[in-house]
Amino acid sequence: MLVFVDRIRAALTEATGLPSDQIRVEQPRDAALGDFAFPCFPLAKVKRAAPPAIAAELAGELNANLPGIEAVATGPYINFRVDRTLLATTVVESILDQDSAFGTSQEGAGKTIVIDFSSPNIAKPMHVGHLRSTIIGASIQRMHDALGYKTVGVNHIGDWGSQFGKLCAAIARWGDELDLDNDPIPALLALYVRYHEEEEADPSLADEARAAFRELESGAEGKIRDTWKRLTELSLRELNKIYERLGVSFDLIRGESFYESMLDQTVERIESTGITSISEGALVVDLSEFDKKLPPCLLRKTDGTTLYATRDFAAVFHRWEEFAFERCLYVVAAQQKLHFRQMKIVLERMQLDWVERVEHIDFGMLRLGEGKMSTREGKIVFLEELLDRAVSEARTIVSEKNPDLAKSADVAEIVGIGAVIFHDLKKERIKDVVFDWNEVLSFEGETGPYVQYTHARLASILRKAEALGEGGAEADYSRLDEAAPILLALGRFPDVIRSAAQHCEPSEIAQYLLSLCRETSSWYSRERVLGQEPSLTAARLSLVRCAKLVIGKGLQLLGVVAPDEM
Ligand code: ARG
């Protein structure tokens, strides 16, 4: 944490000769033991002594070298406790100095991270898997932004494939009955389903659909291509409504169709490495050598058309050439594990030395507690409906809690959407998310509204102080003893961002915020901030300012708006 960990590491290096990257400074399991701990086990071999003996011996030397930090040997551990005034002064001053830049760094400068996220399919309702990808991916992008990386958020829209042949053919047949200007997606979905059904009775429909897709793939201008373009535009218009509400944007919107012209080259490039073969007329890369259970990766079908995978190869080659990325992240549901595994093995077999940089950032499913979210049961909850319901329930709760609130409609939007996002991000991404409305929107417990509410409470203390003209005195930081857990947590924030970005795990930030908010609210329910001795009030107000800043910044990284009032 901040300078303390670095100082402890440096002193340990000096005392033991261990390189500093091998020195793991941890948080003691029991906070009463100290603020930081160093387990002496790694030294046992070199020193030929038992860890407790090493700890006892080292503690004395460390004490002499670490002014303001007390080292105590406890069993095999050395525990460190920072002097409380030093802790408060260092943390508060460094946060207030850096203001909203606190926690950010430039350690990623000069490196590019490509993040493929959201990536829904056009002419279909965006489903909950895409919602999760959007929320998780955008957060991963913001964390890397905070660390100074150049980030490229790509929306790899599914706008290509035989299904569009079908849809264009359907529109050619029945399009006149259609009003696509209002709410086009359900109408398109219904049209697609109808075509599918009528096709069974009348096989000529299937031929028409194939012909339409062939025409699309040929690149020819004409009615079919115009229809497809219109579909793309309409879909993007609808998608943008959702992105706007979620506060998400992209650096590149590049659908699969973008790679159309590169597909021949892509297939040739893979073929030229000698790893392809023909299987039942299709061009494939056999993968059974690596894993007997792995099906071959299909590059070109018997009829010459390409596939999702082919377009993903074109995309990754193109991205590597354009960005020479440090990491290329695919924020895609765990259902596509097989696809990305196949893709990585093919890249490995091509002996590309950047394979390691390609990562599937997978995540679990989102289910409604009431179980009506899946398309399989024939009932689709449109995402907009989900967001609308969250907002309308938030409106009820907010107006109950705070009937006099100005701009309560804006606050309800912030709270409703924030609740959905936070609920999605608070658990490890690989876990499934179950939506229980009461839990999602509760002001207590592990929820977005709870964190937002803590932020608003801190803002309200600051407003009151301002109105009363308090906080102008010089702060006496020796009096923030009882706030040590908050100060320690605040100081960890930069490490939390770093670790969350490294693991692509927004839940690390969400969990951190929950624990910071718990510490903070328990503190302000115990200690009065306003109306104390001026130097004490000033110190406590500084702490309030710092906590508000870090909670606000943490929420921002998750994509949740931090309200000053609610
Ligand atoms: N459109 C795909 C789907 O909805 C997701 C695409 C993910 N990105 C990628 N490069 N494959 O399943």
Which of 45, 47, 111, 124 is catalytic? The answer is 124
Q: Over 80: is that where the pLDDT of 249 sits?
A: yes
The strand pair at 282-285 and 297-300 is best described as antiparallel
Residue 372 has pLDDT above 60, yes or no: no
Asked if residue 478 belongs to a domain, the reply is yes
Which amino acid type is present at position 432? D
In-domain check, residue 310: no
Q: How far apart are CA 450 and CA 340, in angstroms?
A: 37
Q: Check residue 70 and give left, alpha or beta (phi > 0: left; psi -120 to 50: alpha).
A: beta
* DSSP-derived 3-state class of residue 331: strand
Active site residue 127: yes
- Does 491 share its domain with 352? no
346 and 391, same domain (yes or no): no
**Among protein residues, the one whose CA lies closest to atom 11 of ligand 1:** 312
Please report whether residue 372 resides in a domain. no
Q: Give the contacts of 287 (CB within 8 A, at least 6 positions apart).
A: 294, 295, 296, 297, 342, 345, 346
C-beta of residue 166 within 8 angstroms of C-beta of residue 207: no
Chain centroid to Cα 447, Å, comes to 17
CB atoms within 10 A of CB 365: 16
- Domain range spanning residue 353? 112-260+315-367
- The order of strands in the sheet holding 77-82 is 36-39, 77-82, 69-74
Residue 58 reports pLDDT greater than 50: yes
Asked if 163 and 192 sit in the same domain, the reply is yes
Contact 134, 246 (CB under 8 A): yes
| pLDDT tens string 484-504 | 999 999 999 999 999 999 999
pTM: 0.94
Question: What single DSSP character describes residue 42?
Answer: G
* Token pair for 161: 């494939």
Are 342 and 400 members of one domain? no
Question: How far is C-alpha 378 from the geometric centre of its chain's CA atoms?
Answer: 30
318 flagged as catalytic: no
Q: What is the average pLDDT across 465-494?
A: 96
What angle, rounded to 10 degrees, do the helices at 506-526 and 128-146 form? 70
Q: How confident is the model at residue 370 (pLDDT cuts 50, 70, 90)?
A: low
Q: pLDDT at residue 376 above 70? A: no
Strands of 14-167, DSSP E = 36-39, 69-74, 77-82, 112-116, 150-155
Query: Is residue 362 domain-shared with residue 388, that is, in the same domain?
Result: no
* Greatest alpha-carbon span in the chain: 88
Measured in degrees and rounded to the nearest 5, phi and psi for residue 151 equal -115, 145
Bridge partners for 80 per DSSP = 36, 71
Q: Which amino acid residue places its CA nearest to atom 3 of ligand 1? A: 120
Paired tokens of 363: 């995540």
Angle CA 90–95–97, to nearest 5: 95
Q: What is the mean pLDDT of the chain?
A: 93
Q: What whole-number distance in Å separates Cα of residue 552 and Cα of residue 443?
A: 17
- Quote the ligand 1 centre to 249 CA distance (angstroms): 17
Query: What local confidence, expressed as pLDDT, does residue 118 receive?
Result: 97
pLDDT at 184: 87
Q: What percent of the chain has pLDDT over 90?
A: 79
Specify the pLDDT at position 2: 65
For the domain that residue 36 is a member of, what is the CATH number?
Answer: 3.30.1360.70
Please check whether residues 63 and 151 belong to one and the same domain. no
> Does residue 270 carry a pLDDT above 60?
yes
What distance in angstroms lies between residue 385's CA and the mean position of ligand 1's atoms?
23
162-192 pLDDT, tens digit each: 889 999 999 999 988 788 888 888 888 888 8
Residues 224 and 140 in one domain: yes
Nearest CA owner, ligand 1 atom 1: 158
Substitution candidate for ligand 1 out of 118, 152, 313, 336 with most atoms within 8 A of CB: 336
Report the atom number in ligand 1 closest to the C-alpha of 308.
Answer: 11
Nearest-angstrom CA–CA distance, 121 and 158: 4
Ligand 1 nearest-atom number relative to CA 157: 1
Residues 345 and 444 in one domain: no
Which one of the listed residues 127, 423, 455, 548 is annotated catalytic?
A: 127
The confidence score (pLDDT) of residue 115 equals 98
Tell which one of 126, 128, 156 to mutate to probe ligand 1, the residue whose CB is within 8 A of the most ligand atoms: 156
Residues 255 and 174 occupy one common structural domain: yes
Residue 388 domain-assigned? Answer: yes
Pocket of ligand 1 (CB under 6 A): 116, 119-121, 156, 158, 312, 315, 330, 332
Rounded to the nearest angstrom, the distance between the alpha carbon of 34 and the centre of ligand 1 is 47
Is 38 contained in some domain? yes
Domain count, the chain: 3
Residue 308: how many CA atoms within 13 Å on its side-chain side?
A: 13
The CATH number assigned to the domain holding 205 equals: 3.40.50.620
Please check whether residues 47 and 195 belong to one and the same domain. Answer: no
How far is residue 188's CA from residue 207's CA, in Å, rounded to a whole number?
20
Residue 177 domain-assigned? yes
Instruction: Tell me, yes or no, whether 116 lies in a domain.
Output: yes
Average pLDDT over residues 108-127: 94
Q: Using the 3D structure, point to which of 367, 392, 408 is the last residue of a domain.
A: 367
Rg of the chain over Cα atoms, rounded to whole angstroms, equals: 28
Q: How far is the CA of 259 from the centre of ligand 1 (A)?
A: 14
Q: In angstroms, what is the span from residue 524 Cα to ligand 1's centroid?
A: 46
Kindly state the average pLDDT of the residues 43-53: 91
* Assigned domain for 405 exists: yes
Q: For residue 312, which atom of ligand 1 is closest to its CA?
A: 10
**Of 28, 60, 82, which residue is a domain's last?**
82
Classify burial at 389, counting beta carbons within 10 Å of its beta carbon; exposed 0-12, middle 13-18, buried 19 or more: middle
Asked whether residue 479 falls in the same domain as residue 532, the answer is yes
Rounded distance from Cα 119 to ligand 1 centre (Å) = 5
